[in-house]
Amino acid sequence: MATILVPGGKLIHTLKDRKRNDDIHYAIGVCCITDKIRESRLRWYGHVQRREDDHCVKRILEVEVYGRRNRGRQRKRWINTISHDLISLNLTPVDLEDRDDWRRRTHVADPSPEGFTA
């Protein structure tokens, strides 16, 4: 029988309990990995956009490649993912200017585990 353990060695549930991942994440005190990846991606995007205009990384990020793209389904580009993230969090590139506000709006907090008091 498999069990799910928290870092302190406390038994949470067995696999037969058929608990949802969200419930287990909340009980352990971690958030969804995709939210953390999005947070990291937006943090780096904000960092690059606040750099000077002549910085090499910012120039590379904003470069336009001319020519035709291949036929068929297009590969997902990083900047398209960023645009989708900005829309989903209701952010604009103007929001980048205030670093503290950007951090607050893009930060994904880990949920506190049940019964945990800090």
Write the DSSP symbol of residue 103.
H
User: Cα dihedral sign for 7, 13, 15, 20?
Assistant: negative
**Tens-digit pLDDT string for the chain (118 aa):** 455 555 665 656 666 777 777 777 777 777 778 888 999 999 999 999 988 888 988 888 888 888 888 888 888 888 899 999 999 989 988 888 888 888 888 887 766 655 444 4
Give the Cα-Cα-Cα angle 109, 35, 3 (nearest 5 degrees): 80
Residues 6+ positions from 53 with CB-CB distance below 8 Å? 59
Q: What is the pTM of this model?
A: 0.68
